[in-house]
Amino acid sequence: MPIQKISLEALQKVQQHIKSALALPQSENDPQSILLTQDASEPPEPAFLGDLGSLFYLGRSEEFDSQAPNVTGKWFISSMNPGASLLKLPGINLKSGLRLVTYLYRTKDEGIGATWAVPEIMSTTAQLERVLNDHKHSNPQQPPRPEAALDTVMDAIEGDHSPLSYVIASLLQRELREFGAIGKARNWSHHRLIAAVPTQLKWQWRVKQPQDLSPKVMVYPDQKVAIEFFTCRVVAPIAIFQHLDQYPANQYTAVSTDRPIAVPLRAGLDSG
């Protein structure tokens, strides 16, 4: 069972593509800024087609306020298509007949998102909004779940089962999990992919120091797949993380373990 290494540069390019595809419009990422700058008597002229979404919300009547972007702690539907993040990704794609949809939750300082995979026939705006009407949509710990949604987003992913496709799936699932998060809710976005120990700091290891931090894939004879890669969290608490994903045969839904394995060595202490 040979271990295949994956280029760090290639993964960084994949991650950047996913992040760019998952960039929310300002009207949804920070609704408060739009509310503070807009002229209530006349909506601003859109500079891009994507800005038309904010005009749609500005023209909604009060009965639809709960579905519009807001900072009052009420879930609303994002106009973004998270499935666009899969375009041009090598080796994986969205299963036919499914669509990814996201609900967003915003307060003045923080926010989170919840992304689901749903059958296309169940993904009309009316159907997606219905869950907001029936749901106690002011609780950030209980995101709305649309009817017929799959248990996990990654259940909607298929691919060619190449080693690279599984590493890409590992990045995708983490980006989708954090899609819509702002403020203190952000976690994965503070991680940077690495293939070597960062030399800017001295490290105290909680495990035996790995000799090779490059991303790796192992495909077992029964077609199960194991992925290992490393990141450095660059915002306190700073740490080097090991990420282990185990994939069942011919599936892209992994059992994941993310654990800190090294922390910066404090002044006055040796590495022991």
pLDDT at 62: 45
Q: Domain-by-domain residue ranges, the chain?
A: 8-165
pLDDT in tens, 216-245: 999 999 999 999 999 999 999 999 999 999
Give the strand pairing for 239-247 and 225-233. Answer: antiparallel
For the chain, helix (H) and strand (E) counts, in that order, are 6, 12
At 211, the pLDDT band (50, 70, 90 cuts) reads very high
**Arithmetic mean of pLDDT, 63-85:** 84
Looking only at Cα atoms, what is the longest distance across the chain? 67
How far the first Cα of the chain sits from its last, in Å, is: 35
104 within 8 A of 27, measured Cβ to Cβ? no
Query: Alpha-carbon distance 260 to 102, whole Å?
Result: 29
Helix (H, G, I), strand (E, B) or coil at 130: helix
pLDDT in tens, 165-183: 999 999 999 999 999 999 9
Mean pLDDT of the chain: 88
CA pseudo-torsion sign 246, 84, 232, 109: negative
CA pseudo-torsion sign 66, 69, 70, 73: positive
Query: Within 10 Å of residue 215's Cβ, how many Cβ atoms?
Result: 24
Query: Alpha-carbon distance 266 to 26, whole Å?
Result: 40
